[in-house]
Amino acid sequence: MAANKSLLILPGDGIGPEVMVQVRRVIDWFDRRRAVTFEVEEDLVGGAAYDAHGVPLTDETLATAMASDAVLFGAVGGPQYDDAPRAMRPEVGLLRLRKELDLFANLRPAIAFDALLDASTLKEEVIRGLDLLIVRESTGGVYFGEPRGIETLPDGHRRGFDTQTYTDEEIRRVAAAAFDLARQRRGHLTSVEKANVMESGVLWREVVTELHKESYSDVTLEHMYADNCAMQLVRQPTRFDVIVTDNLFGDILSDCAAMLTGSLGMLPSATLGAADATGRRRALYEPVHGSAPDIAGKDMANPIACLLSFAMLLRYSFGLEDDAALVEGAVRHVLKTGVRTADIMGPGAARVSTTVMGDAILRELDKQAA
Ligand code: IPM
Ligand code: MG
């Protein structure tokens, strides 16, 4: 069958390559067993690209990413790059992809799997039924704002500074994406900023309120300060449906939300750009966990976050809801049977390697598709 979707796979560093091997197996399974087929290119990013080419993302790789239907990303970074020049750090590869592809809406779901409730540091009754989605703005704010730098003052002291900046248009487009998602879910959106101390927060609140009035009055909107949101996330996380927030608050709150579920190794993410006239949108999918250098190369990492990222790719880039649900269903079923990687071990469960987790999920896909 002719390949009909082009994917660029960037495994990156640390556990990125080994979890991506399991995704490749699932992609091969789709090529054999389902209507959709993929034309896959694989390339380097982060420290791996820096070692090979002296930069964390080459222009060629960026061009391939631009031309692909979707990008699937592993993880970047490692202690061996701590002394690399700042502009050459592995993270820059990821930030440049987000920026150059104009991927402004970073979707980070946090879902508590019933089979894993005991893996959370929170009480089961606090997280049972948790299903929230953080929409993090990902091309603006303090991550990219100018001016920034470290300068030496006339008195000899040094001063480091960054700029938090948002235009109304940047706020509007990410808020619209979040309202659309809330509408498809439980119809509730929490907009998070620090309008009590930040000008960009004041504008954020104004623009979201306006947009709500104009186009989304069927969605329930609430505003919340970021510090309060951090508190509510651990106090009563099930009160949230969709949260929309800026780049830095989103970075922090999404780590907090991820940990509620008991394992970062379970959580996927998608970063989406605007749809063009044909409805096609640029998109990058990545597990929320980082490169985890301490366990890299040991066949210990949990491949589920990366596999669920592939499920998001099927859903958001290609509209293949049934195929996405197939992957998610296989994961849920395997967890129910008590198969666990080290990060989600619980009493009475069977601890398995990355590869054996992949085996179990493939077997389950075979069964479900039979
Ligand atoms: C994330 C990461 C990145 C970020 C780093 C690797 C630059 O923490 O995706 O949350 O801060 O955005
Ligand atoms: Mg982060």
Q: What is the pLDDT of residue 22?
A: 98
> Which residue in 50, 166, 194, 216 is the catalytic one?
194
Q: What is the pLDDT of residue 1?
A: 44
Q: What is the pLDDT of residue 2?
A: 47
Nearest CA, atom 2, ligand 1: 251
Index of the ligand 1 atom closest to the CA of residue 76: 6
Question: How far away, in angstroms, is 122 Cα from ligand 1 center?
Answer: 24
Q: Which residues pair with 263 in a beta bridge?
A: none
Residue 5: in which H helix or E strand, if any?
strand 5-12
Residue 332 backbone phi and psi in degrees, to 5: -60, -40
251 CB under 6 A from ligand 1?
yes
Question: How far away, in angstroms, is 29 Cα from ligand 2 center?
Answer: 31
Distance of alpha carbon 53 from alpha carbon 224, whole angstroms: 44
Q: What is the pLDDT of residue 265?
A: 84
Token pair listed for 225: 């300060």
Angle at alpha carbon of residue 342, lines to 338 and 343, rounded to 5°: 100
DSSP conformation letters of 333-350: HHHHTTEE-GGG--TTPE
Q: Is residue 13 annotated as a catalytic residue, yes or no?
A: no
Question: How far away, in angstroms, is 258 Cα from ligand 2 center?
Answer: 10
pLDDT per position as a tens digit, 10-36: 999 999 999 999 999 999 999 999 999
Nearest CA, atom 5, ligand 1: 91
Q: Which residue's structure tokens are 């040094």?
A: 158
Token pair listed for 289: 């966990």
Q: Could you tell me how far CA 202 lies from the centroid of its own chain?
A: 27
Nearest Cα to 88, choosing from 59, 60, 52, 46? Answer: 46
- C-alpha pair distances (Å), 221 with each of 83, 126, 226, 349: 44, 23, 15, 41
Say which DSSP state 88 is in.
G
Q: Is residue 255 annotated as a catalytic residue, yes or no?
A: yes
Question: How far away, in angstroms, is 256 Cα from ligand 2 center?
Answer: 10
> Which residue in 246, 251, 323, 343 is the catalytic one?
251
Angle at which helix 16-33 crosses helix 304-316, to 10 degrees, equals 50
Burial status of residue 262 (CB atoms within 10 A of its CB: 0-12, 13-18, 19 or more): buried
| Cβ-contact 7, 43 below 8 angstroms | no
Distance of alpha carbon 27 from alpha carbon 39, whole angstroms: 10
Contacts with 109 (C-beta within 8 Å, 6 or more apart), sequence order: 131, 132, 133, 134, 267, 268, 269
Distance of alpha carbon 347 from alpha carbon 251, whole angstroms: 32
pLDDT beneath 50, residues of the chain: 1-2
Q: What is the pLDDT of residue 94?
A: 96
Q: How many CB atoms lie within 10 A of CB 353?
A: 16
Q: How many CB atoms lie within 10 A of CB 241?
A: 18
Q: Are strands 149-152 and 158-161 parallel, antiparallel or unpaired?
A: antiparallel
Residue 329: in which H helix or E strand, if any?
helix 321-336
Name all contacts of 122-125 with Cβ < 8 Å and 24+ positions apart.
Answer: 122/234, 122/237, 122/260
Q: What is the pLDDT of residue 3?
A: 59
Nearest Cα to 71, choosing from 333, 313, 364, 369? Answer: 313
